[in-house]
Structure 1
Amino acid sequence: MPTPLGTRLTAIICGRWTAWLVLLAAASFSALVIGFAGDPRTGDDPTGALPEAAESVQVAELRRQLPGGQLNPALVVYSRDGVPLTAADDAAITADRAAFARDAVGDVGPPVYAPDRTAALVAVPLPAEIDIERLGEIVDRLRTEARDGLPAGATAELTGGAGFTADVAAAFDGANVTLLAATVAVVAALLLITYRSPWLWLVPLAVVGTADVVSNGLIAIVSRAVDLRIDPSTTGIVDVLVFGAGTNYALLLIARYREELRREADRRRALRRALGSAGPAITASALTVVLSLLTLLAAVLANDRAIGVAGAVGITTAMLYGLIVLPAALSVCGRGLFWPFVPRPGQPDPTRSGIWARAGALVSRRPRTVLAGSLLLLAVLATGLLDARIGLSKTEQFRVSAESIDGLATLSRSFPPGAADPVIVVADAARAPAVLAAVETVDGVASARPAGGTDDLAVVEVVLRAEPDSAESYRVIRDLRATLGSVPEADALVGGSVAENLDTRDAALRDLRVVVPLVLVMVLAVLIVLLRSIVAPLILVGTVVATFFAALGAATTLFTQVLGYPALDTSVPLLAFLFLVALGVDYNIFLTTRAREEAAVDGTRQGMRTALAVTGGVITSAGVLLAAVFTVLGVLPLVTLTEIGVIVGFGVLLDTLLVRTLLVPAIAMVLGRRFWWPSALARRRVPEPAPVPVGADPMPGRHADAGG
């Protein structure tokens, strides 16, 4: 039952004149945020995502204090398709060194040749603290200078930290605009198909689009206030979240509004009823997502925390615009907005004889068979996890070609695999000889040499035999740390980009272990409060977790067997779980809250069938739309975002078409009134309905004695 305050608020939002005031206030607020928000706080430090206690972060901080520690080298690799470089190539390299000096900080050292002369490496020292746009300009100029004047058959590729950073920035240049355009196009097309009206789709699209722009502004304000770094991938994820969730809320509200218009001649009264009925479910749904996202504050990776805060701001904005601005816009537009399919009192409800009513009848006839079949299918899909591998190397993270990646591959063919990305050891200078000797005893070390330092600190560069970011390289890093930890009074620390990636992987696994239980507890608590039950929430959470494992298994098979991705990125399991559980439980909330409403009159069996019949169409539309929107993440250049998009997209479809349509109703019909234990509905004894015969009307109408 709506509260008196809720009734007054809906009256204001949907009122004849007050709706205009609501829209005016919303427009003013939106303009204020958009006009004064500015840009979010960003950061390019590769160790910025790690906690300060991470060993690689401590090494990076110490190196900044050393001579040359403020440098970020660009590595230019010269090669000739596997054959030795010529004298003409040597002359071109010498000329390039002179050209590189114009952008270098300090001297450009002599080239380092591979033992077989199939490649040469020139290191160009660049400033580490530099604007990303400026870095991109320098890298582009160096690449042009390296290629100009090369003899025929020779190639030059710029890689290293500077090249990789510039390529990441270039890959995202305009990518978020493309993502936003693709998202808007997908949402517009699906809304047009759903409503079959030439203008109804414009209203929710305009409201959700405004909410997205406003949420980005609010995120920028929050990021500067709490020193939160927002990278382009976070922005892309939040755009998808806002459009997906916001459009879902609009679909559910408009569907309930259409339903009420078939019963009520006064369209504003119908809108108030729709908002009063759908509002609590939408609020509970959004609250579930927001609280789930905020569990990421318990993560140690700063990127995860940023996604949590930014996503929570985005979902909250989408909910408020969906519950305040959208109803006000519908109020001023009138019933004709639905043309040519204008709902009017007395029209038959098409949901009572459609496909979802027939699905409910099927489940009610054979609930145990449907239950067993659904669980078997989920189990089969989850078997793909048997081949799952976690962790992408730096060279595996792009879906598009990048010169920095190609350069690393060229280096690894002529030099030891770890030459382009040496491990950095920092230790007490007085113990430098002992540290160097200990490093050389570790299996997997190709070479080690002193690399400067101060009177207090010594730096050792260690080249590994293993490919960077491989399981073997991580094993060597762990062995180095264990070995150096036993050198007395050395205070040795192991860092470098390979160590940073290992620390990131370990932190991601730690976050997975910590955040997943928090998400499950949070979702369970919201469901218990909403449904006033314990059994139903436990079942709903269990089905969503099963959906996650099935989606992750199926997607892993797709990635490894079809798309050729070698592994899941370290951040994918946690973020995919979070989005799929938080968003997937939405549809079960919408189904079970309606089933509870109907069960109070007709009992559990008939109530679940009615709920499935009347919510099936809109929930399926919402699920298809959300899946499509998440899949659009694939337009971004990172494998990580493609993996998240595919897993969540497929999982939402699985949840919409299988779990919500068949599995949950089947469980409810098997359990009957026990599904609602310990609420009052569980104590209500009502005769069970007879199974619906094949060919009979699947929704014969309400029966006060039907359902258990």
Structure 2
Amino acid sequence: MSDLAEHERSGTDLSKGAPPPDASPPPPRRRQPWFVWAVGIAGIVFFLVGLVGMPFEGKLGEVQKNDNAAWLPGSAESTKVDTESQKFQSIATIPGFVVYERDGGLTDADKAKITEDLAKFAEIPGIAADQITQPQFSKDDSVATVTVPLIGKDGEEEVDGEQLGETEDAVIDTAREGAPDGLEVLPAGPGGLLVAFVEVFGALDGQLLLAAGVVVILILLVVYRSPVLWFYPLFSSLLALGASALVIYPLAKNEWLTLNGQSQGILSVVVIGAGTDYALLLVSRYREELHNHARSLDAMVTAWKGAAPAIAASGTTVILGLLCLALGELNSNKSLGPVCAIGIACTVLIMLFFLPVFLLSAALPGRLLGLVVRRFRGASGRWLFWPRIPRFDQRADVSTHGAWARFAEGVSRRRRLGWVSTAALLLVCVAFLPFLRTEGLSTMDSFTSEPDAIVGQKLYDANFDAGAGAPAVITASADKADEVIAAAAKVPGVATGPGAICVQPDYAKISQLIASGAISPADLGGAGCAPEQLQVQPIDGRIIIDANIVYRYDTDEADATVQRIRDAVHAVPGADAMVGGSTAINHDVLAASRHDRNLVIPIVLVVIMIVLGALLRALVAPLLLMLTVVLSFAASLGVSALMFNYVFDFANADPAFPLFAFVFLVALGIDYNIFLMTRVREETLVHGTQSGITRGLSVTGGVITSAGIVLAATFAVLAVLPLVSLAQVGFTVAFGVLLDTIIVRSILVPALSHEIGKKIWWPSKLAKTAD
């Protein structure tokens, strides 16, 4: 799996106590340059920053926003409606239902319990007590439902996901407490489904960290073949995660960026995966240099100088690619980029400054160990690599022996067969790309499991008006209200009958009247619109209207209905009507996702191309790398389409899915090509292009393959979570990283580079001088 073990073929047995006869004597101790002290001091500082930030990882859930409305840009029509609605209602609610069900029919005791619950629900903090409705019963009298809306916003203060979850749990606990045996109580509606998402995201980070940590430990044990060394990159990655949380938490708390459960979960995976990758590159180079230097410090200085440019370039490429997401419209996309970019930046700093100090700190326990165990005498910090400890023997060149050297020679000899066959394989995978469906997921299709809210929603849909509780919300000129209502009433998919389209009730006034005893909640249960005196009054010449839809708010049919409503009311002269509500929010989110996908992907390509050109000082090589990575990305989507449709049986994918997959696959996938081609260029300067390609692949093959397996495994952890969107991103990125690492970087890129020859460095001087 790794080329780390290849060094050991040239090592010596420590028990013999002395280096081989051909080894040069240790050089005289010399004064280290200033940057060594700078790296050491910076390492200590970043260690303290990461340590302080660790507690903030658990607090990130407090500043998450998982509702679609928080993700939308201010220019979206549904956002404008939401803003205008706040003038009419100081409290914004999220519709929610409690569903009661008994096989064979509800008993009198069940109905009495439901009636008692109404008063108890009104006393729960976070519930809009004035909007609780009287129970509705199904035709067969086996199911009942009560509308219990959650307060999502009170004035300017938004209720966070954790509070919403606690409120919904209190409602369901109240309904279940003292329920007769056999009476099932379930949540439903947008509120219940939103809380189901919040609860999944709340448990997400801990589960991901545990699963990713276990996976990384197992892989590093195999790669390093050491029972100790795995701890160093993993602990460093956890410090990077702590440092990231320390930066992200205040930004999210002060609403300078929007953090949601998805971005927090992906942050953990990106930091651990990328951190382990960077650590593998540094540790591999360090181990290589330990064969060339008697002192660990000298070996680390040389290794740092060799690995740091590639790690810094890789991190810069990923950061710039992620920051391109900030150019999009959707707040979730705009913030995912900065969130993960902060994570990568912290990871690069920790791996470049803390990890070297951490590895060198092993010298002290190494000396103590040598006092006790003769085998470790003189090993100093090298004991970390036990049982295959690298010795100072000046025989570290793995480019001429080992499995990867033989593989690289084979690629050189069969270059044309290599790139033609791998390109053909990738094109076959790309052929399945048209089968990828990205029209968006309904809430019901967003879970791979079946939480209580999904079970409750299915019961509700089967027995009641599926569109109740989540109407289309229309704002319009007050003097055109009747015309707008008439236009909306003619739209197919809008509910008919009394109370289907009404000026919104004034819930504050209704609450006051109920509190004074002037009316009772039972007086509000009749059909039809609220009396005019209980409706909201025009503000600044505007009015707000609710239009019930016959379909559940997150279905394709509801989406089509809202678009027809918009067309109808926009056509009313002088009404200046706009349509919002839950369905309209979903529609605008999907539209913004498509816009961001089409905008950001080309920009990311251009940015990465510029970075690669500056790094490799050429145009042909960066163009080759970009073309191969894009081909690998398209092939990954093609395979994903087959897996999603015919193996996992997912209903659909979000329009943002290709964008997320692209950013992570291209930005992270280009890392391995950077690691390869920077080493190829380094070798080319000494040995020429053809030999440089072979030697570069020989030296980097094992460590890059190991890094790719680690990154793929950490992203694969997402695929076991109960959310379809994360499972899709996890599978595609994991598969794409393996495809890029094993096929593209190991065969396609080196074979094409051999075929092109020294022209790959055009227009730099290497294109003329390297043979």
- TM-score normalised per structure 1: 0.89
Matched residue type, 1:60: D
Amino acid at match of 2:147: A
One-letter identity of the residue aligned with 1:546? L
In structure 1, the residue matched to 2:714 is: 629
Question: Which residue identity does 2:691 align to in structure 1?
Answer: Q
Secondary structure, in 3 states, of the residue corresponding to 1:460?
A: strand
Q: How many residues align?
A: 676
Distance 1:468 1:136, change over 3 A: closer
Match of 2:169 among 101, 126, 140: 140
2:204 equivalent to 1:182: no
CA distance in 2: counterparts of 1:684 and 1:263, whole angstroms: 29
In structure 2, the partner of 1:553 is 638
Aligned equivalent of 2:657, options 552, 564, 572: 572
Partner of 1:46: 68
Q: Does the residue aligned with 1:674 lie in a helix, a strand or coil?
A: helix
Instruction: Specify which of 119, 144, 158 is matched with residue 98 of structure 1.
Output: 119
1:370 pairs with one of 408, 418, 431: 418
- Which among 249, 264, 272 is matched to residue 220 of structure 1? 249
Preserved CA contact (<8 Å) 2:43 2:350: no
List alignment gaps of at least 5 residues for structure 2: 1-29, 154-158, 363-380, 506-535
Query: 2:278·2:348 contact (CA, 8 Å) conserved in 1?
Result: yes
**Residue identity opposite 1:290 in structure 2:** I
Distance 2:207 2:55 in 1: 23
Residue 730 of structure 2 aligns with which residue?
645
Selected match of 2:537 from 454, 457, 477: 454
**Equivalent AA in structure 2 for residue 587 of structure 1:** Y
Within 1, Cα distance between the matches of 2:190 and 2:95? 6
Matched, 1:408 2:457: yes
Answer yes or no: is the 8 Å Cα contact 2:95–2:150 preserved in 1: yes
Deviation at 1:110, TM superposition (A): 1.9
Which whole-Å CA distance do the structure 1 matches of 2:105 and 2:57 have between them? 56
Match of 1:470 among 545, 555, 563: 555
Question: Cα offset for 1:501?
Answer: 0.8
Provide the residue aligned with 1:419 in structure 2.
Answer: 468
Q: Which residue of 2 aligns with 1:396?
A: 445
Summarize deviations over 1:229-262 as a string: whole Å, max 9, x none. 3223322211111111111111101111222222
Query: Equivalent residue of 1:77, what SS?
Result: strand
Partner of 1:290: 319
Q: Which residue of 2 aligns with 1:355?
A: 403
* Aligned equivalents of 1:226, 1:73: Cα separation in 2: 25
Residue 274 of structure 1 pairs with residue 296 of structure 2: no
Alignment of 1:688-707 (within 5 A): none
Deviations 1:120-140 (A, max 9, x none): 332124433345444333322
Q: Which amino acid aligns with 1:400?
A: S
Rounded to whole Å, the distance in 1 between the matches of 2:620 and 2:31 is: 33
C-alpha spacing 1:176/1:87, structure 2 compared with 1 (3 Å):
same
Q: Secondary structure at the match of 1:446?
A: coil
Q: Give yes or no for contact 2:54–2:241 (8 Å, CA) kept in 1.
A: no
Task: State the one-letter code of the partner of 1:623.
Answer: G
Structure-2 separation of matches of 1:185 and 1:657: 23
Divergent runs of 4+, >6 A: 35-38
Q: Does the residue aligned with 1:539 lie in a helix, a strand or coil?
A: helix
How has the CA–CA distance of structure 1 residues 126 and 9 changed in structure 2, closer, same or farther, with 3 Å as cutoff? farther
1:705 corresponds to: none
CA RMSD across the alignment: 2.7
Q: Is the 8 A contact 2:680 2:695 kept in 1?
A: yes
Distance 1:423 1:342, change over 3 A: same
Q: Distance in 2 between matches of 1:37 and 1:565?
A: 31
Partner of 1:338: 385
Aligned in 2, Cα 1:558/1:9: closer, same or farther, shift over 3 Å?
Answer: farther
Aligned equivalents of 1:567 and 1:205: distance in 2? 35
Displacement after TM superposition at 1:84 (Å): 6.5
Kept after mapping to 2: 8 A contact 1:14/1:331: no
List per-residue Cα deviations over 1:258-317 (Å, max 9, x = no partner): 222223334322221211111111110000001111111101111112211111111111
1:567-605: CA deviation from partner (whole Å, max 9, x where unpaired): 112332111110110000000011111111222233222
Q: Deviation of residue 673 (structure 1)?
A: 1.2
- Tell me the secondary structure at the aligned position of residue 127 of structure 1: strand
Q: Aligned ranges for residues 159-174 of structure 1 at < 5 Å? A: 159-174=188-203
Matched, 1:201 2:225: no
Which residue identity does 2:79 align to in structure 1?
V
User: Closer, same or farther in 2 for the Cα pair 1:540/1:131, shift >3 Å?
Assistant: closer
- 1:107 positional shift: 5.7
Q: Choose which of 450, 474, 477 in structure 2 pairs with 1:428.
A: 477
Q: Share of identical aligned residues, percent?
A: 39
Contact 2:288 2:396 in 1 (8 A): no
Displacement of 1:420: 4.9
Contact 1:411–1:420, Cα closer than 8 Å, also in 2: no
Could you tell me which of 485, 490, 494 is aligned with 1:441? 490
**Matched AA of 1:392:** L
Matched, 1:594 2:679: yes
- In 2, the alpha carbon distance for the partners of 1:220 and 1:138 equals 24
Are the structure 2 counterparts of residues 80 and 608 from structure 1 closer, same or farther at C-alpha, using a change threshold of 3 Å? same
Change (3 A) 1:634 1:246: same
**Using the alignment, how far apart are the partners of 1:662 and 1:547 within structure 2?**
13
CA apart distance, 1:106? 2.1
Match for 1:440: what amino acid? A
Q: CA 1:73–1:417 in structure 2 vs 1: closer, same or farther (change >3 Å)?
A: closer
Q: Return the letter of the residue paired with 2:219.
A: L
Q: Give the counterpart letter for 1:366 in structure 2.
A: R
**Partners in 2 of 1:151 and 1:225 — Cα distance?**
46
2: CA distance, partners of 1:392 / 1:10: 58
Aligned residue number for residue 517 of structure 1:
602
What is the CA-CA distance between 1:22 and the residue it aligns to? 4.9
**1:492 corresponds to which residue?**
577
Q: Give me the whole-angstrom Cα distance separating, in 1, the residues matched to 2:668 and 2:205.
A: 22
Q: Residue 158 and residue 685 in structure 1: after superposition, are their counterparts in 2 closer, same or farther (change >3 A)? A: closer
| Residues 551 and 650, structure 1, Cα contact 8 Å, conserved in 2 | yes
Change (3 A) 1:595 1:615: same
Instruction: Choose the corresponding residue for 2:267, options 223, 238, 241.
Output: 238
**1:392–1:570 CA contact under 8 A, matched in 2:** no
Hey, what's the Cα distance between the residues in 2 that align with 1:281 and 1:10? 23
1:350 Cα shift? 4.6
Q: Following the alignment from structure 1 to structure 2, what is the Cα–Cα distance between the partners of residues 470 and 353?
A: 60
Superposed CA deviations along residues 537-577 of structure 1, whole A, max 9, x for unmatched, are 11101111111111122122212211221111233211111
Sort the Cα spacing of 1:107 and 1:533 in 2 relative to 1 into closer, same or farther, 3 A.
closer
Q: Check whether the contact 1:605–1:672 (CA below 8 A) recurs between aligned residues.
A: yes
Change (3 A) 1:243 1:13: farther
Partner of 2:96: 74
1:374–1:663 CA contact under 8 A, matched in 2: yes
Distance 1:415 1:225, change over 3 A: closer
Residue 25 (structure 1) aligned with residue 108 (structure 2): no
Do 1:20 and 1:332's aligned partners in 2 also have CA atoms closer than 8 Å? Answer: no
Matched with 1:111 is 135
SS in 1 for 2:92: coil
1:310 equivalent in structure 2 = 339
The 3 A distance-change label for structure 1 pair 562 and 9 is farther
Instruction: Give the direction of change, closer, same or farther, for the CA distance of 1:179–1:270 in structure 2 (3 Å limit).
Output: same
Could you tell me which amino acid in structure 2 is paired with residue 490 of structure 1? A
Residues 464-513 of structure 1, C-alpha deviations (whole Å, 9 max, x = no match)? 34454333332222221111111012222111111111100000111111
The amino acid of 1:380's aligned partner reads V
Q: Report if the CA contact (8 A) 1:260-1:270 is conserved.
A: yes
